[in-house]
Structure 1
Amino acid sequence: MEIPEKKQAEALARVAEVGTQRAAALAEAERLTGPLRAAAVAAAKEGAGRNRIRELAGVSPNTLYKWLTEAGLDVRPKKTKGE
């Protein structure tokens, strides 16, 4: 006879295991964000193309442009639809 609670406990244990792994990965990503930001800004100051920086950093255009703006670099305002 199968006991549903046993299957549920196994499934919940797997959720807990993967959740712990995910939390560790997110913490590592957060730890690396500062150095990545600094590297991206430095690359932009050296004249590297912003699309290439964004591709290599694996960040969205909004994130990169926010970093560049906060670092005091010129960023064109984003065009809105219809412009």
Structure 2
Amino acid sequence: MSEIPEETQAAALRAVVAAAAARDEAQEFLAQRVAELQTAAVAAAEVGAARTRIRELAKVSSKTLYTWLQDAGLDVRPQQSRR
């Protein structure tokens, strides 16, 4: 007996729903970890840790770190234009 096409399609769609749910869960987990990293990086800057060292250990770009610091209300020098 062969499968009914609608059953095959329903199974495929259930797989899509499951994959999307897993992705959403992973993205939420990642967002929480990034928020924790941001909080830790800002706290390190507030106690005087070198910003270059914070950036290296956090493994983020300068732009990301300085955005976090600025959002937290810390002083950030304007970026120098490169020629």
Q: TM-score, normalised by structure 2?
A: 0.63
Q: Do the aligned residues in 1 keep the contact of 2:37 with 2:58 (CA within 8 Å)? A: no
Residues 3/52 of structure 1: CA separation in 2 closer, same or farther (3 Å cut): same
What value does the CA root-mean-square deviation take over the aligned residues? Answer: 2.7
Structure 1: tracts of 5 or more residues without a match:
none
Q: Which has the larger radius of gyration?
A: 2
Matched residue type, 2:55:
N
Q: How many residues align?
A: 79
Corresponding residue of 2:16: 15
Among all aligned residue pairs of Structure 1 and Structure 2, give the percentage whose two residues are the same amino acid: 42
Q: Which runs of 5+ in 2 are unaligned?
A: none
Match of 1:5?
6
* TM-score, normalised by the number of residues in structure 1: 0.63
Alpha-carbon offset, residue 2 of structure 1: 5.2
- 1:66 Cα offset (Å): 1.4
Does 2:71 align with 1:74? no
SS of the aligned residue for 1:76 comes to coil
In the TM superposition, 1:27-66 aligns within 5 A as: 27-45=28-46, 46-48=48-50, 49-55=53-59, 59-66=60-67
| Cα distance change of structure 1 residues 54 and 32 upon mapping to structure 2, 3 Å threshold | closer
Letter in 2 for 1:11: A
